[in-house]
Structure 1
């Protein structure tokens, strides 16, 4: 019987590289009673057969920070533990076979410079010099990262486990967790059983789900949603090749392939466009270091292209054809953090074939989060609270996973939409919008009209890094909103009703702004953390003495509800998600008052319905509530109408708008309009590590209130002064496009990167927002510099502003 304690501070379920990393990092922070339980043998699920590619550059600054940390950690582990990790900095090359891919790589190289990652754009001849075995036919260029590496995945995991043991962790193999005891929002302990029939219970303060492809099942045991699906993952290893010496890792994403030299052999791995989900009927209980049946027909197209690209593969012979399972999430980002619905259940799972390069950083970040009770920095990309409850649906996971594996090597075009498992959540107006040319995108499962095709135009995306096929459509939609009137569907807004005798005092505790306002008042506010960082960006409408409506972005509804519930404590208030109960139609533009007056007998004047207030109205034959707010910088109303009356409200508005030139608009227009007005976008421009004052949102914080989360941090920052400021930039050349993460150069030096970007059709150029260091400087000094933005390696002059370039005094929204 294993020697297991009856109590632990934390039980980690799963002994792959991620579970070992979490144990290692918790013990490094001084946690001693750490127990890691592995059902079979350490690394026996997915870790043992991973390719072991260790790259630094990821899609965002913080994911890159974690990948760089992993690399540095693995470089030092061997000295600390005596376990050989096989870690070598061999460098990596990624090549482009199309102009679009080359632009993607050039943009990634610019981003890498902003993130402090060493990278070099190289010509086809330079690719050939660094990788002489490659057939250069069709190669247009590439990028070289000298510090990328490769390692032995199983030994890295075993080294992490040894490091954890050396600092007191209990790591036990062949012990399966069979049950989890819960009391309300907390887990109280785990039941275990070993292979000899021994069993017991460990009471614990926390558990961490590091169960890899079993993570979904373990999540269900804890009452939490961990959406992931195992897929088959293929690679081949050649026979030894005479004279083959150490080479960089090579990626040819346009052929879905990667190559790795290892001990004189060549490995070819694949991320095929349509993958094969596995384990739909459950993973066999006996699974341990198992391989899946070969499927040569499935792999053959990749191999055929690879033999042409790497001629030596055609003559070397195949030593191993390997097929093993790995788990994939619905959006290709892994799951990390405190699970919604529970207060002591943590998740680190679903690593989408990048578990080895991610595990060190993910373990470090999660351990720090567990130690401090708050995220060490913005982890929004991977925070488990981004997952919607429906995404745990098994059929959804199987359908989506056929696509997500291949997306790792597909072109990462701006605005690229997932093609599988679509149509789950639809607004009541979906059919009416589709009939009028709407082209839908998906966010948190919601189908949302992103743009409208003209008659005769194909109502679908044609992706590119240049101007896409909807560019002119969006320009026309924006022109309507800026000069006349536009209508768009915002039913996907999250809507949380907070009510009860202490709703006001509770929201005053959580929100930076003052909630002690009359009924009908709308307050723009943030939920702050104790550091003054922004956890949520919402509007709160007081409906009555005891009831408020918190309106959140669609993507963060669950995260925002979770934040509220975690801080509810003993306040006498109830939180209810009422998102599906009301549709929301936005009517925006200088003629929006005329349109509202045409559909309702109520008064929309400033005297009766000033900016920042809500009122009940009659609309057509029905009823609605209008909120006078705007995310596009124009006079306008958001119309909240019960789902049953939404179609009638829509038809009434369309009929009345027919003679006024009313235009249907989409989300891309809204993004262009909001960036012209320098309105912040949560998750890009404002995150939990962006101080509310440095984000330029001090006007929304009322420190006169005696107490709220983050108040002390706001007062401290006011006294100490800002270390950085969020600026708005406009490219002076109207041609280049901005998306986000482009480097900001100040007087020739990289000082930051854009947090968001879009085209400002009204302002006549691409617009970006981004933070610039400013310690000890006045606003005038910050603006006195020369600014440029690096767009795919070309430095483009930019105007900078602290005030919105469009309608800086907000006269239009208050008209």
Structure 2
């Protein structure tokens, strides 16, 4: 007798892998009893069943680590809760480095682990042999050990989560395929209304009305999303491992990773599983995943795996005599940036996604299910999840050719050297400013953000225009220093066409923006306002400038990577306001002219405009004639110097740049890259959204209270700002400046106050004017702590296990009064 399918549910979850089971479990645990999970075949039958089952804690960021740690803690208690054996045990993990650069990386990771509260220890070569006697340590450069890392049985963990969900009233139904996700209009926005389904075997069909639909469809998630024009960019790739025959006397071992040989080793029940993340992967399923795919394997490709195996039998010599029980090849999903997709899709209300786990689905899904359930219940995640928020994906990233090209690289990047500033090598060039080719001829070396090719630095004549990666000073360090000093001492020009530009138009534009912005929007035409979108907790959802173009029109300017996210936030809160929102990013290119001589240069380049302080003060925009064209000059600065951002229609952009370069020759104008911009903004203490300020960071604690006008009527986050003002701050953002000019800072380095770790850097770079590395980071404080108490402590920053003394300041260490930008 078949199980009847309900006709209504609060949430329908599509996909019975570990992500879907975890989401059902956590929703049920929150009291959602009308939850239905639909699996097209059998639970775990896509990717979960053949996962390696490694359950590490440390991830690249603090909040991803929080999710992984949560997963481990959850899995540790599932067997007692449900009676299903999960095979979970904390056997620890080891990462061994074979190069000096890799050793630097894992030492930095160890410091980061301490900042994130993960137990870690460095291993000498004898220590390593004691923990893993079977290992050949030839080439040893260093190793770290995380004693609390674990492993488990992926399939049984998922089945335990599914049982736990059913125990609390949720339903998990197998052999039910979702054929369509239905939508309706709700509050002027597209929203889900339910799903149609078909039963495997007898062909029975039906409909479930639902308020929420969760796409946990794994390899099928992208195609499922396309049915509703929801962008879920991921691509399946072949993933290989072998399992040996039983090895007598092997005993329990920690998980071993040797990333320089692209290999990991897992001991399980007296056997060794050897897996690989080879440098060039094999995408699979480009023409769609077969309809009947269920517990299936892909054809063996021993030639592809053989280079990994050859190194492995040397690294773990007992593999030479151990028989191979299984040669496995199975598909897993990879995303364009090696981070999974989580959260509500920007295109469709009530449509949530948990997919594309990049071979870390077992260790991530416990936390991901918890976070998604919280998000669905409360309307926001439990903490900042920008790293995996699906709103970071750009529309073009769903292009199948792009996904296939990028997937060849992203699998291998899991074990590649994670150098700072490392750029993706594949699927490049899709978004280019009108200046791209001209800048390339001048030596520009491009990086990629949200698909945009952006000049990060400029090579000098005779210098190879390419990155040479290192954890130390890279080959562009001196180039960027010269660009930095040109901005500080003379005049520099850099391209910011990648800025997201959103036009807000309509009779309610002012009222609408006053509702979602912390600052006052009732300003004269031509005024530029720096502001944040706040959430109800006072956290920062966006960090933008808003320029009033007319009585009914404003332009919101935001970072390239957050345009989709910010447009989604604005759309969600548009309500009944009479406004239209238009994504205008491609309509205008942007050139930033910055430095003490920028006014003189621009006066020569656009002599019909009065560039004086009286005529064009800081924080205003003016229409100008420049060369033979027109532009809009915004007097703002992200580098802390006198300067203007020039917004130019894309058809005139190349001409305007050529004109500026011609006129600028007399001023020794220097083309600059975004590395120089970043080092300048860090010296000035300017925040960067996604690093220094996130939805979890209260706007007052971020030091941005000056941009919030609580005197105006109610706006999103106002009450949270007033409550925090009354209760006092619990932490504050400080700027740090190393006393030693040698070390480099990037991000996530631990902050120590009087010898105790109290936080980590949210961002860092070298301050070429200040003479050493600078960074930003939050430190705890009590409401009664005064500034003197906070700053009188002894601060250090830990870098790769070494501690370096640092000065700390609440005010910018460079030009604290902003006199230079307002000159």
Q: TM-score, normalised by structure 1?
A: 1.00
Q: Note the C-alpha offset of 1:220.
A: 1.2
Residue 479 of structure 1, aligned match among 485, 489, 507: 485
Quote the residue 1:796 is aligned against.
804
After superposition, the C-alpha distances for 1:145-201 in whole angstroms (9 at most, x for unaligned) are: 110011000000000000000000010000000111111311111010012111100
Q: Does 1:603 align with 2:604?
A: no
Q: Note the C-alpha offset of 1:795.
A: 0.5
Quote the residue 2:20 is aligned against.
19
After superposition, the C-alpha distances for 1:235-256 in whole angstroms (9 at most, x for unaligned) are: 0011111111000000000000
**Which runs of structure 2 are paired with 1:607-622 in the superposition (5 Å)?**
607-622=614-629
Contact 1:2 1:194 in 2 (8 A): no
Residue 268 of structure 1, aligned match among 274, 281, 285: 274
Q: Does 1:683 align with 2:684?
A: no
Residue 653 of structure 1, aligned match among 653, 660, 665: 660
Residue 541 of structure 1, aligned match among 542, 547, 550: 547
Of residues 190-199 and 93-102 in structure 1, the stretch that sits farther from structure 2 once superposed is 190-199
Aligned-partner Cα distance in 1 for 2:780–2:228: 44
Of residues 540-549 and 599-608 in structure 1, the stretch that sits farther from structure 2 once superposed is 599-608
Residue 187 of structure 1, aligned match among 192, 195, 201: 192
Q: Note the C-alpha offset of 1:700.
A: 0.2
Aligned-partner Cα distance in 2 for 1:141–1:553: 39
Aligned-partner Cα distance in 1 for 2:427–2:93: 34
**Which runs of structure 2 are paired with 1:308-327 in the superposition (5 Å)?**
308-327=314-333
Residue 770 of structure 1, aligned match among 771, 777, 802: 777
Aligned-partner Cα distance in 1 for 2:86–2:495: 53
Q: Per the alignment, in what secondary structure is the counterpart of residue 126 of structure 1?
A: helix
Aligned-partner Cα distance in 1 for 2:710–2:688: 23
Quote the residue 1:128 is aligned against.
129
Q: Does 1:243 align with 2:243?
A: no
Aligned-partner Cα distance in 1 for 2:765–2:219: 38
Aligned-partner Cα distance in 2 for 1:296–1:385: 39
Q: Does 1:707 align with 2:714?
A: yes
Aligned-partner Cα distance in 1 for 2:382–2:254: 33
Q: Per the alignment, in what secondary structure is the counterpart of residue 316 of structure 1?
A: coil
After superposition, the C-alpha distances for 1:194-234 in whole angstroms (9 at most, x for unaligned) are: 12111100010000000001000111123210000000000
Aligned-partner Cα distance in 1 for 2:556–2:529: 10
Quote the residue 1:694 is aligned against.
701
Quote the residue 1:576 is aligned against.
582
Quote the residue 2:557 is aligned against.
551
**Which runs of structure 2 are paired with 1:444-459 in the superposition (5 Å)?**
444-459=450-465
Q: Does 1:510 align with 2:510?
A: no
Aligned-partner Cα distance in 2 for 1:36–1:277: 28
Q: Does 1:278 align with 2:279?
A: no
Quote the residue 2:427 is aligned against.
421
Aligned-partner Cα distance in 1 for 2:615–2:382: 46
Q: Note the C-alpha offset of 1:779.
A: 1.0
Q: Note the C-alpha offset of 1:780.
A: 1.2
**Which runs of structure 2 are paired with 1:142-161 in the superposition (5 Å)?**
142-161=143-162
Q: Per the alignment, in what secondary structure is the counterpart of residue 240 of structure 2?
A: strand
Aligned-partner Cα distance in 2 for 1:54–1:222: 34
Aligned-partner Cα distance in 2 for 1:502–1:274: 52
Q: Note the C-alpha offset of 1:342.
A: 1.1
Quote the residue 1:341 is aligned against.
347
Residue 723 of structure 1, aligned match among 730, 751, 754: 730
Q: Per the alignment, in what secondary structure is the counterpart of residue 421 of structure 1?
A: coil
Contact 1:213 1:350 in 2 (8 A): yes
Q: Note the C-alpha offset of 1:391.
A: 0.2
Q: Note the C-alpha offset of 1:317.
A: 1.6
Aligned-partner Cα distance in 1 for 2:385–2:269: 37
Aligned-partner Cα distance in 1 for 2:199–2:305: 38
Q: Does 1:351 align with 2:351?
A: no
Aligned-partner Cα distance in 2 for 1:331–1:275: 15
Q: Does 1:469 align with 2:475?
A: yes
After superposition, the C-alpha distances for 1:99-132 in whole angstroms (9 at most, x for unaligned) are: 0000000000000001000000111221111000
Contact 1:486 1:665 in 2 (8 A): yes
Q: Per the alignment, in what secondary structure is the counterpart of residue 37 of structure 2?
A: strand
After superposition, the C-alpha distances for 1:493-520 in whole angstroms (9 at most, x for unaligned) are: 0000001000000000000000000000
After superposition, the C-alpha distances for 1:309-350 in whole angstroms (9 at most, x for unaligned) are: 011011112111000000000000000000011110000000
Q: Per the alignment, in what secondary structure is the counterpart of residue 321 of structure 2?
A: helix
**Which runs of structure 2 are paired with 1:522-537 in the superposition (5 Å)?**
522-537=528-543
Aligned-partner Cα distance in 1 for 2:217–2:714: 41
**Which runs of structure 2 are paired with 1:169-184 in the superposition (5 Å)?**
169-184=170-185
Q: Per the alignment, in what secondary structure is the counterpart of residue 404 of structure 1?
A: helix
Q: Note the C-alpha offset of 1:29.
A: 0.5
Aligned-partner Cα distance in 1 for 2:54–2:42: 23
After superposition, the C-alpha distances for 1:430-459 in whole angstroms (9 at most, x for unaligned) are: 000000000000000000000000000000
Contact 1:512 1:702 in 2 (8 A): yes
Contact 1:123 1:140 in 2 (8 A): no
Aligned-partner Cα distance in 1 for 2:621–2:272: 66
Residue 780 of structure 1, aligned match among 782, 788, 806: 788
Aligned-partner Cα distance in 2 for 1:433–1:811: 31
Number of aligned residues = 815
